[in-house]
Amino acid sequence: MALPPDVEAAVGRIRAEVAALHQELVRSGLVVWTGGNVSGRVPGADLFVIKPSGVSYDDLTAADMILCDLDGTVIEGSEGGHRSPSSDTAAHAYVYRHMPHVGGVVHTHSTYAVAWAARGEEIPCVITAMADEFGGPIPVGPFAIIGDDSIGRGIVETLSGHRSRAVLMRNHGPFTIGKDAKDAVKAAVMVEDVARSVHISRQLGEPVPIPQEAIDRLFDRYQNVYGQSSDTRFEKTQD
């Protein structure tokens, strides 16, 4: 299948970005072995790029990334297209089909997020960084078995209309969404960070709740005030 030149160029950029972002999962300690996957929507096309299944993080290149349509079907003849895409491809595709504003999806089995997910317990919003980043608690999605649309549906149903960009799929682990792949990776890093901090806090007693009104003000300000618009290295952040 021949793509228009501008789409082809966008695919190339997203391939490189998605490949590089997998190294962030390693660096942030969110993955072991070949676990975890990042995908990114191709701007201006009904396509997304995702990691192949079972390739070592040491070996992942932009050319290994796999191009799919929004049904999760591999685009024949595309680079990397002779490989199998991530086993979570159907879930990513479902999210892109049903959430047009989402430009990136990440899934990991990061330790503390999985620990909350295994108990089916949402993470309460008791630290200001969590109010900034997620605007409230991190919700739990349903138990869903791989192999049909049930994981994707669970993600979309849980996150639709929710401030949080992260969902803990029960007994499974976190999925995060973002305006692009980097934003979804940031959410994956932050959800593990807050999952860990709140877990450790609760080990020795009950954290003090943050009043809803303060959570609202923190989230509002963070979404609207911070950031550096003219430099691509800059973004919204609590630092």
Q: Which residues are catalytic?
A: 132, 226
Nearer of residues 29 and 44 to a second copy, judged by Cβ:
29
Between CA 52 and CA 16, with CA 177 as vertex, the angle to 5 degrees is: 45
- Stretch near a second copy under the rule CB under 8 A, chosen from 5-13, 69-77, 152-160, 195-203: 195-203
Comparing CB distances to a second copy, the nearer of 157 and 216 is 216
Q: Tell me the closest approach of the beta carbon of residue 42 to a second copy, in angstroms.
A: 21
Which range, of 2-10, 91-99, 160-168, 184-192, touches a second copy by CB under 8 A? 184-192
Q: In sequence order, which residues have a C-beta less than 8 Å from that of residue 170 and are 6 or more positions away?
A: 117, 118, 120, 140, 141, 142, 143, 144
Task: Say whether residue 183 binds a second copy (CB under 8 A).
Answer: no
- Helix H, strand E, coil C: the string for 89-146 is HHHHHHHHHHCCCCCEEEECCCHHHHHHHHHCCCECCCCHHHHHHHCCCECEECCCCE
Distance from C-alpha of 55 to C-alpha of 217, rounded to nearest angstrom: 43
Please give the residues from 149 up to 168 whose contact with a second copy meets the rule CB under 8 A. none
- The span from the CA of 218 to the CA of 211, in Å, is 11
Determine, following the binding rule CB under 8 A, whether residue 23 of this chain makes contact with a second copy. Answer: no
CA 216 to each of CA 137, 139, 203, 220, 224: distance values in angstroms, whole numbers, following the listed order: 12, 17, 27, 6, 12
The span of 5-13, 69-77, 92-100, 118-126 binding a second copy (CB under 8 A) equals: 118-126
Q: Is 118 in the site for a second copy (CB under 8 A)?
A: yes
Query: Out of 97, 115, 153, 223, which residue is the one contacting a second copy (CB under 8 A)?
Result: 115
∠ CA 167-172-173, nearest 5°, is: 45
Go through 37-63 and write b for each residue having 16 or more CB atoms within 10 A of its CB, e for each that does not. bbbbbbeebebbbbbbeebebeebebe
If one asks whether residue 9 binds a second copy (CB under 8 A), the answer comes out as no
Binding mask 82-101 for a second copy (x = CB under 8 A): xxx-xxx-------------
Residue among 42 and 117 whose Cβ is closer to a second copy: 117
Applying CB under 8 A, does 111 fall inside the site for a second copy? Answer: yes
**Residue 170 interacts with a second copy (CB under 8 A): yes or no:** yes
- The reply on whether position 184 binds a second copy by CB under 8 A is no
Pick the closer one to a second copy by CB: 156 or 215. Answer: 215
